[in-house]
Structure 1
């Protein structure tokens, strides 16, 4: 058997550019979400307001997801991504202006709050198209034989950006304030737009151009729900993210429970980033394809345990350690799930499958934020976090018991097939 090349995908120039674009976008998006969380909680001091932020984004993201998948499969991917980034840039610019005292001087807190919610809602519309477009463009940049390695790097970069962005947000709020943090975010969106010009226009792989919308959506749903391995991976991760969304409550932990302020908030946000970074380098050298099902179940179970420890902790550094391991285990889960999706999805259906993925998993981040905010309001913050972690553990055990096929999932044969192509 051929020796594994941990840098196989990185030997393709456009893939490296793609990673830069993806990192910049995810970094900016997640940083923006945290800055908004901090500002909104500072304005309201109400845990439910944190949940409403997630709800405002998830409503349009879920509502338009299937239609967005259809559009992505019918259109050229690079051009769509340019339009998504332009939309994101406009929203970031709007939030920059909303946090500028010179602009909002004389505005009431409610007007500022509702304006933020409105821009977050528009961001949900953009995100409905952004995820499927990136997922589909990925498959046109590298050959199939390096999909598993490319999926590892792409997912790791996503995971790193998704936790580094919030970590930087915590520190930047402390160092330069909310307003200039939003300026930094806007700068990253412009960087992503300029970098994307280095990727060439790609062909449309769908043989059914002009297919009626309803027929296209029906075919996409039928594929996902008929492919049990994909459905199982999406469902497992969705429940874990939905009930394990403790990070949405970090402003409360930093301000009211651990009492560590913006600087401590930044450290808490950085902890998962360190775990994700470690996982990125480790998984590149030691692929997770063999016994992928059991590894995925173990990773999500470990994630649930970390959330429970974090929820119960009143010691700052124990909380940091728990979040570090939550980032590490979540990184394993993300890499395996993305590898499954890339290997098992036909080229002409990538947009629709990615849109279902965004409904299951991507939007569950925001739904998880809403669930965490709501349960924190009803149960108290600590109880809400522990409840979420316990539900994650229950889901893993249930999945392992009722789905022996998922437990036995092994992607090694898929890897060998693609490595031996051509």
Structure 2
């Protein structure tokens, strides 16, 4: 449903206006979207925790948890760009109503199987793949719909608030899931998740379509996938950021594997501890997302530095000798992870042509989570064979190395060099343009 514009809705400010942490809340449609998503996000995190723990109970294998993750993200690798084409071509609000309904059905199906006592690991595998197929379409539509709601002036702020919303749910969802799993079983967590999608569907129906700012839809034509790839290939700022996102998403964003292994094998604990570690990691993520929302803009060098910090934080956490230190270190791990993810996402959206944004974001998400079918089983196997500490250490080292390599490439492309100043009162380390080679003076006439 839709209605005419009302007085309680404010247009997005221009890019030059001062951005506060919650500026996007002035837009009515965004407020509806935000609070509907908050309900669903809690269910999503409850299902993630319950699903990981259920697979671990059914198989007693970290690799099986990795396979579950791989199957959920495999559709991104297979069909990721098609979701971007649909987001550029179709009405995003209607598309999102369909995808949210499909995701709710998968949660209810898993709940029925689990509560009925007939669930097997292949059921979880199949439903994880189904969730991935729906998310391939949902993700680029949902990400680019943010611009339709708030406009370009508030895009960075809204993207950051969405991430804070998702990570705030990570504070609640895992903790609630831990209690639910130990008291009544994982099936009830799946049931809540399935029902929680009613909230964003109602929110999408209540939006005032006259207050949306949709980008011009791309007409149906041949070669739209290749057109998107050529566009990214012609933009080094987009290309190398997506390369870095691919490495960190594939080898670094494997918390489900490592936290399950640390909880069970290193610290000899249960589902409640697993939920606590996820909540602590989310606490750092929320702080990082809110900071990004207030700042409003970031340079690419900050995103690369956040990727390097994330890899380093994983390596330090892997060496933690006691539980309390490992738990505390989940906060900076989450903060660095979200700082990287939010600034990479918003920078790529802002830098992209609106007519290409869906395909660019689809490529971004394809490499970010589409590498999980490789990284998930690989990190799970490494964790099973060599232990949780080695698995996390290797993942962090790959992220750190990728960030350093991309930083060097971008510096070279941008004609920058590292300058170190040792004098007091001056910035000691900075990137500056390379000095031009002085021209050879021409001979003068006598």
Which shifted more, 257-266 or 370-379? 370-379
- CA separation of 1:354/1:23 partners in 2, compared to 1, >3 Å: closer, same or farther? farther
Which residue in 2 is equivalent to 1:37?
52
Confirm or deny that 1:323 pairs with 2:330.
Answer: yes
- CA separation of 1:318/1:135 partners in 2, compared to 1, >3 Å: closer, same or farther? same
Which residue in 2 is equivalent to 1:50?
65
CA distance in structure 1 between the partners assigned to 2:362 and 2:385 by the alignment? 32
After superposition, give the CA deviation of every residue in 1:99-118 in whole Å (9 maximum; x if it has no partner): 11xx23xx5xxx71111111
Which residue in 1 is equivalent to 2:442?
none
CA distance in structure 2 between the partners assigned to 1:245 and 1:4 by the alignment? 30
CA distance in structure 2 between the partners assigned to 1:31 and 1:238 by the alignment? 26
Per-residue deviation, 1:365: 5.0
3-state SS of paired residue (1:348): coil
CA distance in structure 1 between the partners assigned to 2:43 and 2:378 by the alignment? 24
Which ranges of structure 2 fall in alignment gaps of 5 or more residues? 1-15, 417-446
User: In the alignment, which of 322, 328, 343 is matched to residue 336 of structure 1?
Assistant: 343
Which shifted more, 390-399 or 54-63? 54-63
User: In the alignment, which of 215, 230, 234 is matched to residue 238 of structure 2?
Assistant: 230
Per-residue deviation, 1:162: 5.3
User: In the alignment, which of 77, 85, 107 is matched to residue 70 of structure 1?
Assistant: 85
Per-residue deviation, 1:310: 2.3
CA contact (8 A) 1:167 1:273 kept: no
CA distance in structure 1 between the partners assigned to 2:415 and 2:388 by the alignment? 34
If you compute each CA radius of gyration, which structure gives the higher value, 1 or 2? 2
User: In the alignment, which of 193, 209, 214 is matched to residue 201 of structure 2?
Assistant: 193
> How many residues in Structure 1 have an aligned counterpart in Structure 2?
397
Structure 1 residues 328-407: aligned runs within 5 Å: 328-365=335-372, 367-404=374-411, 405=413
CA distance in structure 2 between the partners assigned to 1:187 and 1:304 by the alignment? 36
Which residue in 2 is equivalent to 1:269?
278
- CA separation of 1:369/1:28 partners in 2, compared to 1, >3 Å: closer, same or farther? farther
Using the size of structure 1 for normalisation, the TM-score is 0.87
Which shifted more, 153-162 or 46-55? 153-162
Which residue in 1 is equivalent to 2:186?
178
Larger helix proportion of the pair: 1
CA contact (8 A) 2:21 2:290 kept: no
Per-residue deviation, 1:389: 0.8
Per-residue deviation, 1:285: 3.2
Which residue in 2 is equivalent to 1:258?
267
Per-residue deviation, 1:326: 0.8
CA contact (8 A) 2:382 2:391 kept: yes
Which residue in 1 is equivalent to 2:224?
216
Which shifted more, 55-64 or 322-331? 55-64
Using the size of structure 2 for normalisation, the TM-score is 0.82
CA distance in structure 2 between the partners assigned to 1:260 and 1:406 by the alignment? 49
Per-residue deviation, 1:328: 0.7
**Cα RMSD (Å):** 2.3
- CA separation of 1:127/1:221 partners in 2, compared to 1, >3 Å: closer, same or farther? same
3-state SS of paired residue (1:14): helix
Confirm or deny that 1:302 pairs with 2:309.
Answer: yes
CA contact (8 A) 2:37 2:199 kept: no
CA distance in structure 2 between the partners assigned to 1:339 and 1:13 by the alignment? 21
- CA separation of 1:346/1:387 partners in 2, compared to 1, >3 Å: closer, same or farther? same
CA contact (8 A) 1:245 1:372 kept: no
- CA separation of 1:182/1:351 partners in 2, compared to 1, >3 Å: closer, same or farther? same
Which residue in 2 is equivalent to 1:89?
104
